[in-house]
Structure 1
Amino acid sequence: MSFLRRLFRRKKPAPLVCSVTLDDHGNPIGDDPSHVHTSACFVDFEPLALVELFQSQGCVSCLPAVPTIQKAVTEQPNRLLLTYNVTLFDHLGWKDTFASGGPAGAVGDQRQRAYVKKWGRNTLFTPQVVVNGLTDTSGARGADDINEAVNHARAGLRLPFHVYLDANDTEVRIDSDAPVPGASLPTAAPDTTTDAAPITAPVALPAPAPTLPLYNIMVATFRAGDQTVKIGKGPNKGKKLPHRNAIDTITKIGQWQGGDLTVALPVPKSSWGHGIEGVAFLQEGAGGPIIAAAKI
């Protein structure tokens, strides 16, 4: 029961209604074009936190810290760990086997540098834990650091709209009450209760809805579970470093700026291969905040 309470923790009472159109047989129409989302459509469950760990096999600090970081992230059901290996310490004599010579390594270097640039920093470090693209920590204090980073990330994300992301074997779907670009805000109906001649006045045009930032729809695939590498050279020679949910690929499959949207996956999940899992997420540009995530 405690697991269910954590998984479905509500931060405020659930909404009461969300209307949909029924067909002639009384069944709800799945994609009703006339349906307009309101806040009543979105139950405010605790969202999935995307936790990105940047590590290196040549990093001395990673050996004691990584296992405690992994435990602190994966012991909570509403957190997902993604591990990126980077080439930051390859010059010390051992080229990271996950980061060097393959696309996954380039992804790790690019994403870590994107965050550093976005935050206006000029230094890199490992291990580095980034939560929802908003906060980071070294994870040196284990669960205390991770819990603090997750709480800060959730507190720091205040959106003027609701957004729900879902994914299945073939597609990613976004439902939101955020207005689509160019939409107009509703205006009051004219007063027809008097026979008096109308007063001539300038016509007030509907105000355009605020423009949202452009969010990238991203899909990351990773090798679920643990892989351990014995390091052959450098300062960590002879020691082992665990890799959990090591990133395989990251692909941008579209963009979103409001309204409802469904985007097909590049290939169905059923064709990914044994041991490959995935997550879809919405991120505001390179190194920007991640506002929604869902396991595929």
Structure 2
Amino acid sequence: MSFLRRLFRRKKPAPLVCSVKLDDHGNPVGDDPNHVHTGACFVDFEPLALVEVFQSQGCVSCPPAVPGIQKAVTEKPNRLLLTYNVTLFDHLGWKDTLAGPMGDQRQRAYIKKWGRNTLFTPQVVVNGLIDTSGTKGADDIDETIGHARTSLRLPFHVYLDANDTEVRIDSDAPVPHSAQVETGDKTTPGPTPAVPVPIYDILVATYRAGDQTVKIGKGPNKGKKLPHLNAVSSVAKIGQWQGGDLTVALPAPKSSFSRGIEAVVFLQEGAGGPIIAAAKI
């Protein structure tokens, strides 16, 4: 679609195969304002798997397990690992240097959503759907990622992409007449779908790309080193989506980020809910 190419200036075209009108000479005549996405507009491709790792510098299981988790996630394409440090073991004599309320709240949201009453680290959560400890090796990580990818059955298609200043969502899920979208951009309501589309938060996580290895000075891991790959510094909600096509401005252009800071945008069904799409910014 020509309007997507203009908006995003991609190095690669979006996986959409929508038709466009041509003039008598076979040239595109512009975007069709009445176009409505259908399943025929989307092609199958392996989406980005968002793998969140919750770890603690005071957890005795983390130093031996985390390097293997990182390797298993990053050695294959279409996977993004994000690290959140938690304060779970700060009472054992060493205060985690990267932990804070953000990691604690995000981990506890999953535990609450799944109806559990215990926390553990390391914890590997894939697409907000399935988790594992990651201590059983690469096969366990691969199986968990595969299970997460196949277990999510959506009654619609959704494609998420971003450029330096905007996030773009394309979907054949119609917008309910009553849907309220938290953005200044306009979205034309469509017919109310037979199965209502849930409200998804549009979230942007920023992280420091690469490894930050910390040598632990006290506690049960004294003298050991723990790597932190893509440590998350912030998670911000920039809007909501409930079907249809939508463009949302980023809070700040990607080009304004400090050196080494990267970002990913994703759609998540509330706190601790499933993540249905993700894209690096």
TM-score scaled by structure 1? Answer: 0.82
Residue 80 of structure 2 aligns to a residue in which SS?
strand
Tell me the equivalent position of 1:209.
193
Q: CA contact under 8 A between 1:182 and 1:209: conserved in structure 2?
A: no
Tell me the equivalent position of 1:182.
177
Residue 197 of structure 2 aligns to a residue in which SS?
coil
Residues 91 and 34 (structure 1), Cα distance of their counterparts in 2 relative to 1, 3 Å cut: same
Q: Deviations over 1:208-244 (max 9, x none)?
A: 4232110000000100001100001000011100000
Q: Deviations over 1:131-178 (max 9, x none)?
A: 000000000112111111111111110000000000111010000000
Residues 268 and 181 (structure 1), Cα distance of their counterparts in 2 relative to 1, 3 Å cut: same
Counterpart-to-counterpart distance in 1, 2:84 and 2:22: 46
Matched to 1:146, the amino acid is: I
1:166 aligns with 2:165: no
Counterpart-to-counterpart distance in 2, 1:86 and 1:28: 54
1:120 aligns with 2:121: no
1:1-296 matched pairs, under 5 angstroms: 18-21=18-21, 26-27=27-28, 29=30, 32-99=32-99, 105-182=100-177, 208-210=192-194, 211-296=196-281
Residue 77 of structure 2 aligns to a residue in which SS?
coil
Counterpart-to-counterpart distance in 2, 1:106 and 1:24: 61
Residues 120 and 22 (structure 1), Cα distance of their counterparts in 2 relative to 1, 3 Å cut: same
Tell me the equivalent position of 1:188.
none
Which ranges in structure 2 are unaligned for 5 or more consecutive residues? 1-14, 179-190
Q: CA contact under 8 A between 2:174 and 2:192: conserved in structure 1?
A: no
Counterpart-to-counterpart distance in 1, 2:24 and 2:115: 58
Once the two structures are TM-superposed, the CA of residue 28 in structure 1 deviates from its matched residue by 5.8
How many matched pairs?
255
% identical aligned pairs: 80
TM-score scaled by structure 2? Answer: 0.86
Q: CA contact under 8 A between 2:175 and 2:192: conserved in structure 1?
A: no
Matched to 1:94, the amino acid is: W
Counterpart-to-counterpart distance in 2, 1:33 and 1:279: 30
Matched to 1:229, the amino acid is: V
Q: Which has the larger radius of gyration?
A: 1
Tell me the equivalent position of 2:186.
none
Pairwise CA RMSD of aligned residues?
Answer: 2.1
Residues 212 and 241 (structure 1), Cα distance of their counterparts in 2 relative to 1, 3 Å cut: same
